[in-house]
Structure 1
Amino acid sequence: MTTKWFKAKNYGWGWYPATWHGWVVTLVFVLLIIFSSYRVEANSHFVSDSLLNIIPQNVLLVMLLIAICYKKGERPEWRWRGKRIKF
Protein backbone atom coordinates (compact mmCIF):
# COMPACT_ATOMS: atom_id res chain seq x y z
CA MET A 1 0.00 0.00 0.00
CA THR A 2 1.31 3.44 -0.87
CA THR A 3 1.37 6.24 1.66
CA LYS A 4 -0.80 9.26 0.86
CA TRP A 5 1.30 12.38 0.44
CA PHE A 6 -1.65 14.67 1.23
CA LYS A 7 -4.46 14.21 3.75
CA ALA A 8 -7.94 15.67 3.34
CA LYS A 9 -8.66 18.63 5.60
CA ASN A 10 -10.90 18.05 8.62
CA TYR A 11 -12.93 21.18 7.95
CA GLY A 12 -13.71 22.59 4.54
CA TRP A 13 -12.32 21.29 1.25
CA GLY A 14 -8.71 20.64 0.29
CA TRP A 15 -5.54 18.94 1.43
CA TYR A 16 -2.52 19.44 3.63
CA PRO A 17 0.92 17.79 3.34
CA ALA A 18 1.12 14.57 5.37
CA THR A 19 4.55 13.19 4.44
CA TRP A 20 7.90 14.64 3.49
CA HIS A 21 6.96 14.03 -0.16
CA GLY A 22 3.97 16.31 0.24
CA TRP A 23 6.06 18.96 1.93
CA VAL A 24 8.63 18.85 -0.89
CA VAL A 25 5.87 19.25 -3.50
CA THR A 26 4.42 22.19 -1.54
CA LEU A 27 7.83 23.85 -1.16
CA VAL A 28 8.61 23.41 -4.87
CA PHE A 29 5.19 24.89 -5.70
CA VAL A 30 5.87 27.98 -3.57
CA LEU A 31 9.35 28.40 -5.05
CA LEU A 32 7.98 28.10 -8.60
CA ILE A 33 5.35 30.76 -7.88
CA ILE A 34 8.02 33.11 -6.50
CA PHE A 35 10.46 32.38 -9.35
CA SER A 36 7.85 32.88 -12.07
CA SER A 37 6.71 36.14 -10.48
CA TYR A 38 10.25 37.53 -10.33
CA ARG A 39 10.98 36.38 -13.89
CA VAL A 40 7.85 38.02 -15.29
CA GLU A 41 8.38 41.19 -13.27
CA ALA A 42 11.96 41.54 -14.56
CA ASN A 43 10.75 41.39 -18.18
CA SER A 44 7.69 43.65 -17.79
CA HIS A 45 7.53 47.41 -18.04
CA PHE A 46 3.96 48.00 -16.91
CA VAL A 47 1.76 46.54 -14.19
CA SER A 48 -0.73 45.30 -16.78
CA ASP A 49 2.07 43.38 -18.54
CA SER A 50 3.01 41.75 -15.26
CA LEU A 51 -0.54 40.73 -14.40
CA LEU A 52 -1.31 39.40 -17.87
CA ASN A 53 1.77 37.16 -17.71
CA ILE A 54 1.76 36.15 -14.03
CA ILE A 55 -1.90 35.11 -13.77
CA PRO A 56 -1.87 32.38 -16.49
CA GLN A 57 1.39 30.93 -15.16
CA ASN A 58 0.11 30.84 -11.59
CA VAL A 59 -3.20 29.29 -12.67
CA LEU A 60 -1.26 26.58 -14.49
CA LEU A 61 0.92 25.91 -11.42
CA VAL A 62 -2.15 25.73 -9.14
CA MET A 63 -3.83 23.28 -11.54
CA LEU A 64 -0.67 21.15 -11.50
CA LEU A 65 -0.61 21.17 -7.68
CA ILE A 66 -4.30 20.16 -7.52
CA ALA A 67 -3.65 17.33 -9.99
CA ILE A 68 -0.76 16.05 -7.84
CA CYS A 69 -2.92 16.28 -4.71
CA TYR A 70 -5.70 14.30 -6.42
CA LYS A 71 -3.24 11.65 -7.58
CA LYS A 72 -1.21 11.31 -4.37
CA GLY A 73 -3.75 12.30 -1.70
CA GLU A 74 -7.01 11.29 -0.12
CA ARG A 75 -10.29 11.95 -1.87
CA PRO A 76 -11.36 15.52 -1.02
CA GLU A 77 -14.86 16.35 0.10
CA TRP A 78 -16.55 19.13 2.01
CA ARG A 79 -16.23 18.17 5.69
CA TRP A 80 -17.46 19.39 9.03
CA ARG A 81 -16.16 16.60 11.29
CA GLY A 82 -17.51 16.65 14.80
CA LYS A 83 -19.07 20.07 14.47
CA ARG A 84 -22.78 20.55 14.91
CA ILE A 85 -24.32 23.40 13.00
CA LYS A 86 -27.35 25.02 14.63
CA PHE A 87 -29.70 27.14 12.61
Structure 2
Amino acid sequence: MSGGPEWFAPKRYGYGSAAPISWQGWVVLVGYVVLITGATPLLAWSIVAYVSFTVTLTALFLLICRNTTRGGWRWRRGEDN
Protein backbone atom coordinates (compact mmCIF):
# COMPACT_ATOMS: atom_id res chain seq x y z
CA MET A 1 0.00 0.00 0.00
CA SER A 2 1.17 3.49 -0.69
CA GLY A 3 1.61 5.67 2.35
CA GLY A 4 2.35 8.78 0.35
CA PRO A 5 0.48 10.87 -2.18
CA GLU A 6 -2.29 9.32 -4.25
CA TRP A 7 -2.05 10.68 -7.79
CA PHE A 8 -3.24 7.64 -9.78
CA ALA A 9 -6.12 5.22 -9.34
CA PRO A 10 -5.39 1.50 -9.33
CA LYS A 11 -6.54 -0.61 -12.25
CA ARG A 12 -9.70 -2.56 -11.52
CA TYR A 13 -8.40 -5.63 -13.37
CA GLY A 14 -4.75 -6.54 -13.69
CA TYR A 15 -1.60 -4.90 -12.42
CA GLY A 16 -0.61 -1.24 -12.38
CA SER A 17 -2.12 2.22 -12.48
CA ALA A 18 -5.18 3.58 -14.21
CA ALA A 19 -6.06 7.22 -14.87
CA PRO A 20 -4.77 10.13 -12.79
CA ILE A 21 -7.05 11.17 -9.91
CA SER A 22 -5.33 14.42 -8.91
CA TRP A 23 -3.89 17.43 -10.66
CA GLN A 24 -0.37 16.23 -9.84
CA GLY A 25 -1.03 12.98 -11.69
CA TRP A 26 -2.29 14.89 -14.71
CA VAL A 27 0.81 17.10 -14.67
CA VAL A 28 3.08 14.03 -14.59
CA LEU A 29 1.14 12.36 -17.44
CA VAL A 30 1.02 15.46 -19.65
CA GLY A 31 4.69 16.17 -18.93
CA TYR A 32 5.61 12.64 -19.96
CA VAL A 33 3.68 12.91 -23.23
CA VAL A 34 5.16 16.35 -24.01
CA LEU A 35 8.72 15.18 -23.33
CA ILE A 36 8.35 12.03 -25.43
CA THR A 37 6.79 14.01 -28.27
CA GLY A 38 9.40 16.75 -27.97
CA ALA A 39 12.20 14.20 -28.18
CA THR A 40 11.32 13.13 -31.72
CA PRO A 41 13.98 15.45 -33.24
CA LEU A 42 16.51 13.13 -31.58
CA LEU A 43 15.53 10.56 -34.19
CA ALA A 44 17.21 12.63 -36.90
CA TRP A 45 20.37 12.83 -34.82
CA SER A 46 20.59 9.30 -33.37
CA ILE A 47 18.15 6.45 -32.87
CA VAL A 48 20.22 5.28 -29.90
CA ALA A 49 19.85 8.67 -28.19
CA TYR A 50 16.08 8.63 -28.76
CA VAL A 51 15.66 5.08 -27.46
CA SER A 52 17.88 5.80 -24.44
CA PHE A 53 15.91 8.95 -23.61
CA THR A 54 12.56 7.19 -24.08
CA VAL A 55 13.51 4.16 -21.97
CA THR A 56 14.88 6.35 -19.17
CA LEU A 57 11.87 8.65 -19.16
CA THR A 58 9.43 5.72 -19.25
CA ALA A 59 11.19 4.02 -16.33
CA LEU A 60 11.00 7.26 -14.34
CA PHE A 61 7.31 7.70 -15.22
CA LEU A 62 6.49 4.12 -14.16
CA LEU A 63 8.40 4.56 -10.90
CA ILE A 64 6.40 7.70 -10.12
CA CYS A 65 3.15 5.91 -11.00
CA ARG A 66 4.02 2.93 -8.82
CA ASN A 67 4.85 5.12 -5.83
CA THR A 68 1.77 7.32 -6.12
CA THR A 69 -0.99 4.82 -6.95
CA ARG A 70 -3.73 4.55 -4.34
CA GLY A 71 -3.30 1.14 -2.66
CA GLY A 72 -0.07 0.40 -4.51
CA TRP A 73 0.49 -1.92 -7.42
CA ARG A 74 -0.85 -5.44 -7.03
CA TRP A 75 -2.85 -7.89 -9.08
CA ARG A 76 -6.55 -7.05 -9.00
CA ARG A 77 -9.46 -9.22 -10.10
CA GLY A 78 -12.24 -6.64 -10.01
CA GLU A 79 -13.14 -6.83 -6.33
CA ASP A 80 -13.98 -3.59 -4.57
CA ASN A 81 -10.95 -3.71 -2.24
Normalised by the length of structure 1, the TM-score is 0.72
Distance of 1:4 and 1:21 partners within structure 2: 9
Query: Aligned to 2:21, which of 18, 31, 39?
Result: 18
Match of 2:38 among 31, 35, 39: 35
Q: Which structure 1 residue ranges, 5 or more long, are not aligned?
A: 44-48, 83-87
- Given the superposition, is the C-alpha separation of residues 2 and 13 from structure 1 closer, same or farther in structure 2, using an over 3 Å criterion? closer
Looking at CA atoms only, which structure, 1 or 2, has the larger radius of gyration? 1
Q: Which amino acid aligns with 2:27?
A: V
Q: Give the Cα–Cα distance (whole angstroms) in 1 for the partners of residues 68 and 38 of structure 2.
A: 25
| Count of residues paired in the alignment | 75
SS in 2 for 1:73: coil
Q: Name the one with the larger helix percent.
A: 1
Q: What pairs with 1:8-87 in structure 2 (closer than 5 Å)?
A: 8-15=10-17, 16-38=19-41, 40-43=42-45, 49-50=46-47, 52-74=48-70, 75-82=72-79
- Structure 2 spans left out of the alignment, 5+ residues: none
Identity of aligned residues (%): 31
Displacement over 6 Å in runs of 4+: none
**Per-residue displacement from partner, 1:6-58 (whole Å, max 9, x unpaired)?**
111101211121111101110000000011122x0242xxxxx42x2221111
Instruction: After superposing the two structures, state which structure 1 stretch, 2-11 or 56-65, moved more.
Output: 2-11
SS of residue matched to 2:65: helix
